[in-house]
A and B are shown apart, each in its own frame.
Chain A
Amino acid sequence: MGFHIDWSLDVESTAADMRVAVIGAGVIGLSTAQCIYERYHSAVSSLSIEVYADRFTPQTTSDGAAGLWQPYLYDNGNTLETKWNKETFDYLLGFLNSPDSIKMGIFLQSGYNLCSDPAPDPSFRDIVLGFRQLAKRELDLFPGYSHGWFNTALMIEGKSYLPWLMNWLKQRGVKFYQRKVSSFQELADSGVEVIINCTGVRSGELQPDPELKPGRGQIIKVSAPWLKHFILTHNFKKGVYNSPYIIPGSRHVTVGGVFQLGNWSEQNSTADHKKIWEEACSLEPSLKHARVMEDWSGLRPVRSRVRLEREMMQFGPASCEVIHNYGHGGYGLTIHWGCALEAARLFGEIIEQKGQGDRSRL
């Protein structure tokens, strides 16, 4: 694949290294590693970053997601997350004209957000491009939907973005270890000073978190290359992602939506497939002639809000700083860079504090 994963259990490092371990190799883990490296590798001369995960691309949750940049319709006052979403959008938009854009899986896509009832404008209206209300003639194309918006957003496809990130990190000496970390202490005992916890839906295995739940999703990948717009429907009674959506990508079209809170199954369900397919064909009749490729199920790491904060952990005489960065629900790709920037900022705080102590590394 172009990058090296170390299968050994031993970590080679010099005693003077400042070891930072990122747990999780989805979009959150990899982009946080990148952001910290970018900002601190010259300030901290012995910075050594290691990424631990039991699943790498293309097996992560980020890989299965369609990759459309779009937050939930309303942030319910969580303006910090809206800020992070905007930072991500602007950051990705900046890559559009670069020669790497396709390697990164970034491209523009326009489309429709449809509501069965009138609804206030969404939180992202001033972030995306060309946001406008749908005209009656457009709504007539979607019977059953009386209100909606058109805008131009971005796609950020995990299957391209994650390999690009891993390559970027590998080229800068970041090491990868394919194994399941059983506890923060395990890493702290081995000499890691800072842990970045990007373990997504399974964060509860490292530290119980009653607010974190799986939001199971299932999608059908189809070939329908005449479809050039995303179509997302919103049914406020059924809740987010439980209403059909169709998102064309660079390789196939992603058809969904299912959002089952508390369901840990990663197996494809025939009943879900049937529901998704029937609803999507109602929405977009031409799917009748699409070629179905395969189904995929994944677990969104659902939480009332993203957990992005520091926690100092004491394990006997050793202490370890943990930066939690998990719980991004169905908008991990959408929010990842803003969160990476914030995590890097927290890392900077840690560096500064350590600099004031015995081990001055600056």
Chain B
Amino acid sequence: MTVTSSVQWRMGIQTRSSSFKGMSLTVTPPAHSPFSTQVPRSLLFVAPFWYCCPAMHRVKVAVVGAGVVGLSTAVVIAEALPHCSVTVLADRFTPNTTSDGAAGILFASQFPDVPVEQQRRWFKRTFDHLLLIASSPEAGVAGVFLSSGWQIFREVPPEKKPYWSDCVLSFGTMTDAELKRFPQYKFGQAFTTIKCECPSYLPWLQKRLEKAGGIMIHEKVTDLAELGLRYDVIVNCSGLGSRELLGDEDVHPVRGQVLRVHAPWLQHFVRVADGHTYIYPGAGGVTLGGTRQAADSQAIFERCRRLEPSLGSARPLGEWVGLRPGRRNPRVERGHVRVHGRRVPVVHNYGHGGWGITLSWGTALDALDLVRQCLNERPPEARL
């Protein structure tokens, strides 16, 4: 005989330094549970005490990947769901992730199959989150600050105002006087966006994760099923690694090559609309880029110098080549992995291409929603 009894209780208890209120957990014993079909009343008294033994009763979430998407997602989950213990597993941590080499200028592109409204929400949420940091005392420490500049077009584009134009600060068309500096370009946009430098931002996120009770482990994850033995929910932010980890052949490396130079007088970004040439001044140097295929540094430098002649006085600092986790669209959705007949939920958040930083917080928030859904659907069995 199957009895389905649902028990709902509200958690109004303090755990460690944070409190969570109003969270309800529906516990429905599965049909063939080895446990009694009726939840003993005594457990209702035991339950409020499970904060004493967090390791036994907390939901264990594994986040695979410690780039900007992985860490953002881990922080978002750890802060929103204190009853979860969040562990980030990665083979590479800052400063050795793909994110670390990116210039970090927030600038959205358009993915073909994601509804524009969702892309706009991803961008806006990330921008607003970073804007708070940029206007706080932590801007310098976190490496998040305002950056103004211009995007220039050789020909007047059909769409002069992209969908993200009201997400950045004060988007406008360049005046003729401003365009004079770029004689081969017929149209331009002037706006203020944010630069988010991962060599500073990722350590800042890591501190925030630790403060929220999360931990980080240096481990290369090669088998999600194996991970599913140790964790209740898996969040996959493995970027380019998803190709091997999941066998997702839609993920392909998109090569980026950038130079860094010392040119502290440069205060504005300049980006050619096709994305192949850009100048992004940062706190420690200016990033010159870039390319989506092999090109030598000299070619990058020359293209940038034509736009900004003062680069002739710049001192080279170094070169960096990274592989963006290219995909037709980012994959932000639920999946699962089978572990001994059980289904361990997986939330995917990867494939951000060259827009990882730009979309990091927004996609992390979507991933959080998916994790919440997974938790709400969890069977109660072994975890009580």
A-side residues, CB < 8 A to B, are 96-99, 101-103, 107-110, 129-130, 132, 134-135, 137-138, 141, 150, 152, 155, 224-229, 248, 250-251, 285-286, 288-290
Contact = CB atoms under 8 A, between A and B. Distances in A.
Given A110-B148, A228-B148, A98 B309 contact: yes
Interface string B121-156: 000000000010001111111010111100000000
Contacts of A229: 146, 148, 267
B254 interface: no
B281 interface: yes
B137 A152 contact: no
Contacts of A138: 169-170, 192
A228 B141 contact: no
Contacts of A132: 170, 172
A319 B151 CA distance: 60
B181 A96 contact: yes
Given A101-B309, A229-B267, A286-B139, A129 B177 contact: yes
Interface in B256-270: 264-268
A109 to B, nearest CB: 5
Given A130-B190, A141-B135, A226 B170 contact: no
A285 B268 CA distance: 22
A251 B264 contact: yes
Contact of A130 (B140, B178, B264): B178
B376 interface: no
A97 B267 CA distance: 15
Instruction: List 4 tightest A-B contacts by C-beta distance, closest first.
Output: A286-B139, A102-B313, A107-B265, A250-B265
B176 to A, nearest CB: 10
B137 A286 contact: yes
Contacts of B143: 226
Contacts of B268: 108, 110, 152, 228
Nearest to A142: B135
Nearest to A143: B135
B222 interface: no
A98 B136 CA distance: 38
B175 interface: yes
Given A135-B170, A289-B137, A155 B265 contact: yes
B264 A99 contact: no
Contact of A129 (B137, B139, B178, B265): B178
A254 to B, nearest CB: 14
Contact of A228 (B147, B170, B181): B147
Task: Determine the interface band of chain B, counting residues with CB < 8 A from chain A.
Answer: 35 or more
B246 interface: no
A98 B137 CA distance: 38
B137 A225 contact: no
A228 B267 contact: yes
A227 B265 contact: no
A52 B177 CA distance: 40
A225 B172 contact: no
Given A107-B266, A107-B310, A286 B145 contact: yes
B312 interface: yes
A99 B312 contact: yes
Contacts of B174: 130
B190 A97 contact: no
A251 B265 CA distance: 8
B295 interface: no
A225 B267 contact: no
A250 B309 contact: no
A132 B313 CA distance: 31
Contact of A248 (B175, B177, B267): B267
Given A286-B138, A290-B140, A228 B264 contact: no
B140 A102 contact: no
10 contacts: A102-B310, A107-B267, A109-B267, A130-B172, A132-B170, A226-B139, A248-B267, A286-B139, A289-B137, A289-B141
Nearest to B168: A137
A107 B141 CA distance: 26
Given A98-B309, A130-B175, 11 more contacts: A99-B309, A99-B312, A101-B309, A107-B265, A141-B131, A226-B140, A226-B283, A228-B147, A229-B267, A250-B264, A290-B140
Given A110-B267, A129-B175, A135 B169 contact: yes
B284 interface: yes
Interface in B234-264: 264
Nearest to A141: B135
A97 to B, nearest CB: 5
Contacts of B177: 129-130
A108 B149 CA distance: 11
Nearest to B313: A102
Contacts of A226: 139-140, 143, 145, 283
Contacts of B148: 110, 228-229
A137 B310 CA distance: 33
Interface in B263-287: 264-268, 281, 283-284
Nearest to A227: B145
Nearest to B172: A132
A97 B181 contact: yes
B145 A228 contact: yes
A277 B13 CA distance: 44
B265 A102 contact: yes
Contacts of A251: 264
Given A229-B148, A285-B135, A108 B267 contact: yes
Given A102-B310, A250-B265, A289-B137, A228 B169 contact: no
Contacts of B267: 107-110, 228-229, 248
